[in-house]
Amino acid sequence: MRGYLVAMVLSAVFLYYALHCILWGTNVSWIPAVEMKRRNHGQPCLSKPAFASLLRFQQFHPFLCAADFKKIASLYGSDKFDLPYGIRTSGEHFRMALSRLQSCDLFDESDNSVPCKKCVVVGNGGVLKNKSLGERIDSYDVIIRMNSGPVLGHEGDVGRRTTFRLFYPESVFSDPDHNDPNSTVILTAFKPLDLKWLWELLMGGKINTNGFWKKPAVNLIYRPDQIRILDPFIIRTATYDLLHFPKVFPPNQKPKHPTTGIIAITLAFHICHEVHLAGFRYNFSDLQSPLHYYGNATMSLMNKNAYHNVSAEQLFLKDIIERNFVINLTPD
């Protein structure tokens, strides 16, 4: 009788896995996933940051952990929002992607020695060109960059070090030359497909490239232990608390989402004691000025985006600079 039961249970487990594989269209590896747990993050910073009044929770852990992301989601209300600002209908996608990652730590041991971190968020703006801010940027405890803003070939203007780099499937580097092995890369998931894409890449399976607004990378240049998934709470905070975007848009308008730059600043507010900015200024009256510090795109390409509200973001930046919540390294 007992052996019969065991056999039943085993075949049920097998069936579950088989179904799983069929549903996800690939072979699930039998290597057990590492159960990610938060580790002790060193000493907390006891002095209050200048921007403290902007935040509801200053010590919020910004990365999802496989072991407790559902608990954290219900604690902070992320179970009441769909992607991109919550996990409500995509819990399974989050679970699958997280099951392939190896860490949800914020800083590694060597970085834990500095309790109050001084951070610089480096935007991709053309204003960084020829300013030779590289050495200055490299002197911060934490350097946050975004998308495919390169370091390679631009060290004099933007520095060499990268602590964190935010990305999404359509913006991630695919050339291994751009992988700094010391940096941690953070997926900002906007749709369930983004999580499926990450999972597929980590499984080494075939990538489905349909459903993206631009062809996503089909290879991953980063080690699994370098990758984190940003808690949607951070993006929600950027959208509603910092940019004050409406919760509902008229049916003829696409909902506006924050750009990666504003998400990166919001992340910095949650993990840093002091935040400085570089590369966040755009000259809207000069359409021929460079859009980015790299490549040849000009400001004329800037306004063609229906998903962001750049003027709202510029107002927000102006406000936090004027109130001395942040220091702007590239005022002109």
Ligand X SMILES: *[C@@H]1O[C@H](CO)[C@@H](O)[C@H](O)[C@H]1NC(C)=O
Contact residues: ligand X, CB under 6 A: 129-130, 160-161, 180, 182, 256, 283, 285-286, 290, 295-296, 309, 311-312, 315, 332
Q: Rank residues 161 and 191 by Cβ distance to ligand X and give the closer one.
A: 161
Tokens (6 digits) for 178: 């751009």
Least separation, in Å, of the C-beta of 190 and ligand X?
18
Residues β-bridged to residue 279:
none
Q: Rank residues 82 and 286 by Cβ distance to ligand X and give the closer one.
A: 286
Q: Rank residues 143 and 229 by Cβ distance to ligand X and give the closer one.
A: 143
**Dihedral, 292, 294, 300, 301 alpha carbons, nearest 10:** -80
Q: Rank residues 72 and 329 by Cβ distance to ligand X and give the closer one.
A: 329
Q: Rank residues 49 and 134 by Cβ distance to ligand X and give the closer one.
A: 134
Q: Rank residues 97 and 186 by Cβ distance to ligand X and give the closer one.
A: 186
Least separation, in Å, of the C-beta of 146 and ligand X?
17
Strand 227-229 with 184-187, pairing: parallel
**Dihedral, 159, 162, 163, 166 alpha carbons, nearest 10:** 130
Q: Which of 329, 328, 331, 327 has its CA nearest to residue 49?
A: 327
Least separation, in Å, of the C-beta of 82 and ligand X?
20
CA distances in angstroms from 227 to 65, 109, 122, 177, 252, listed in the order given: 12, 17, 19, 17, 37
Cα 306 to chain centroid, rounded: 21
DSSP 121-185: EE--BGGGTT---HHHHHTSSEEEEETT---TT-HHHH-S--SEEEE-TTT---SGGG--TT-EE
Q: Rank residues 94 and 167 by Cβ distance to ligand X and give the closer one.
A: 167
Least separation, in Å, of the C-beta of 160 and ligand X?
5
Least separation, in Å, of the C-beta of 292 and ligand X?
10
Least separation, in Å, of the C-beta of 39 and ligand X?
20
Least separation, in Å, of the C-beta of 80 and ligand X?
23
What span, in angstroms and rounded, lies between the C-alpha atoms of 266 and 288? 30
Q: Which residues contact 317 (CB under 8 A, 6 or more apart)?
A: 277, 280, 328
Least separation, in Å, of the C-beta of 162 and ligand X?
7
Tokens (6 digits) for 191: 């749709």
Q: Rank residues 117 and 256 by Cβ distance to ligand X and give the closer one.
A: 256
Q: Which of 63, 76, 61, 65 has its CA nearest to residue 98?
A: 65
